[in-house]
């Protein structure tokens, strides 16, 4: 057994057509009520279709095959033998949501190492967005490390396709976007190829990497939620103290987010007060905390990496840099090279 979670177990297998070792994810299919035909659940269809849409991208785990096995769908994926980024960062215990946190401080990472890691994570996320997929659970535990050292974005169990997803060229591995979460999405030709606003499932993302709009119960959101998660990962890479927003509950997560980045206002985040859960709980009015408190014991001597993190973690999702825009940040061109 290689791993697993709420959506299925992952075991080691062999892809018979090629002879390659692979990771087999078995996704159980629940039995339909009496009188109804069995059918693949929408979340299973969505995971398969999203993986097909992005398969072949360098920083996304490759879908090799899929097949039925009893009352389960099995996804055969390329094997990433070196574990995940969470393990590499020293995450070793969990909370009720399955997040794993570093129990002790670790040695600072070099600037070149941080650049390389976050550039690869951003590349995987940007590829998903360019091809019309919102990952919706970007976190270190879902970033796998291939034997070659390349990082691969994985676990599309919460992913959704945008209504204006652009199909791959003929002959490429792909598929029609599933009609699961996108019925009310409006097309927008931004540089990520994704909608700015669409109606999707609420309650996505793992808590410590959850964007403020999701914490406020938004059902309409965009690819910006993934960018927030990457920003949180960048902060974690820069700090020797582990995850920078380690909430113990959803309310605590929101409180920590607002203490770090400030309480929403019509100036800071126009329209925030209209979010479903905005008025359900009141907090003190916070101004953004000092950067040294948000990213404690940072290895970022120039401040350029922290600047990028803040561009990815703007409270207002409309003002957040896109994944493609983040990849073009001057920090990646400055010495030392990644």
User: What does the H/E/C string look like for the chain?
Assistant: CCEEECCEEEEEEEECCCCEEEEEEEEECCCCCCCCCCCCCHHHHHHHHHHHHHCCCCCECCEEEEEECCCEEEEEEECCCCCEHHHHCCEEEECCCCCEEECCCCCCCCHHHHHHHHHHHHHHHHHHHHCCEECCCCCHHHEEECCCCCEEECCCCCCEECCCCCCCCCCCCCCCCCCCCCCCCCCCCCCCCCCCCEECCCCCCCHHHCCHHHHCCCCEECCHHHHHHHHHHHHHHHECCCCCCCCCCHHHHHHHHHHHHCCCCCCCCCCHHHCCCHHHCCCCCCCCCCHHHHCCCECCCCCHHHHHHHHHCCCCHHHCCCHHHHHCCHHHCCCCCC
Nearest CA to 200 out of 223, 167, 232, 175 is that of 223
Q: Please state whether the predicted TM-score (pTM) of the whole model is above 0.85.
A: yes
- The percent of residues above 70 in pLDDT, for the chain, comes to 80
CA distance 319 to 114: 24
Asked if 241 contacts 294 with a C-beta cutoff of 8 angstroms, the reply is no
What is the C-alpha separation between 281 and 319, in angstroms, rounded?
A: 25
Residue 186 has pLDDT above 80, yes or no: no
Please give the residue that has the higher pLDDT: either 6 or 321: 321
**Start-to-end C-alpha separation, the chain:** 33
- Is residue 95 predicted with pLDDT exceeding 90? no
Looking at residue 166, what is its pLDDT?
Answer: 52
Mean pLDDT to the nearest integer, 114-135? 97
Q: What is the mean pLDDT of the chain?
A: 84
For residue 198, list its beta bridge partners: 221
Q: What is the share, in percent, of the chain residues with pLDDT greater than 90?
A: 56
| Other beta carbons within 10 Å of 255 | 18
**pLDDT value, residue 183:** 33
Q: Which domains does the chain have, with CATH numbers?
A: 83-332 (1.10.510.10)
- In the residue annotation, 137 being an active-site residue is answered as yes
Q: Which of the given ranges, 15-29, 81-95, 112-126, 238-252, has the highest pLDDT on average?
A: 112-126
Q: What is the mean pLDDT of residues 81-95?
A: 79
Does the structure show a pLDDT above 80 at 287?
A: yes
What average pLDDT score do residues 226-238 get? 97
Known binder of ligand: residue 318?
A: no
Judge whether residue 161 has pLDDT over 80: yes
Is it true that the peptide bond before 336 is cis, omega within 30 degrees of 0?
yes
Q: Quickly state the pLDDT bin for 11 (edges 50, 70, 90).
A: confident
Give the separation between CA 219 and CA 175, rounded to whole angstroms: 25
Catalytic residue among 137, 192, 226, 300: 137
């Amino acid at each position: 057994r290689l791993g697993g979670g709420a959506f299925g177990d992952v075991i080691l297998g062999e892809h018979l057509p090629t002879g390659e070792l692979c990771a087999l994810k078995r996704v159980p299919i629940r039995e339909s009520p009496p009188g109804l035909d069995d059918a693949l659940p929408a979340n299973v269809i969505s995971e398969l279709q999203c993986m097909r849409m992005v398969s072949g991208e360098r920083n996304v785990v490759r879908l090799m095959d899929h097949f039925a096995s009893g009352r389960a769908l099995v996804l055969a994926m390329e094997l990433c033998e070196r574990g995940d980024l969470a393990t590499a960062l020293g995450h070793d215990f969990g909370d009720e949501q399955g997040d794993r946190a570093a129990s002790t401080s670790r040695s600072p990472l070099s600037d070149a190492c941080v650049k390389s890691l976050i550039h690869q994570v951003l590349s995987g996320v940007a590829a998903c967005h360019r091809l019309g997929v919102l990952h919706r659970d970007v976190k270190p535990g879902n970033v796998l490390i291939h034997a070659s050292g390349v990082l691969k974005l994985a676990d599309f169990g919460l992913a959704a396709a945008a209504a204006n997803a652009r199909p791959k060229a003929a002959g490429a591995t792909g598929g029609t976007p599933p009609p699961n979460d996108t019925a009310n999405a409006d097309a927008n030709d931004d540089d990520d190829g994704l909608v700015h606003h669409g109606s999707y499932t609420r309650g996505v993302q793992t808590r410590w990497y959850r964007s403020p709009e999701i914490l406020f119960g938004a059902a309409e959101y965009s690819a910006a939620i993934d960018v927030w998660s990457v920003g949180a990962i960048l902060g974690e890479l820069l700090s020797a103290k582990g995850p920078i927003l380690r909430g113990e509950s959803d309310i605590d997560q929101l409180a920590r987010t607002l203490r770090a980045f400030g309480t929403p206002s019509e100036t800071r985040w126009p329209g925030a007060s209209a979010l479903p859960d905005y008025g359900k709980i009141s907090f003190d009015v916070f101004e953004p905390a000092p950067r040294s408190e948000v990213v404690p014991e940072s290895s970022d001597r120039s401040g350029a990496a922290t600047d990028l993190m803040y561009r990815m973690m703007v409270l207002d999702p409309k003002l957040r840099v896109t994944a493609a825009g983040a990849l073009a940040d001057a920090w990646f061109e400055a010495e030392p090279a990644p």
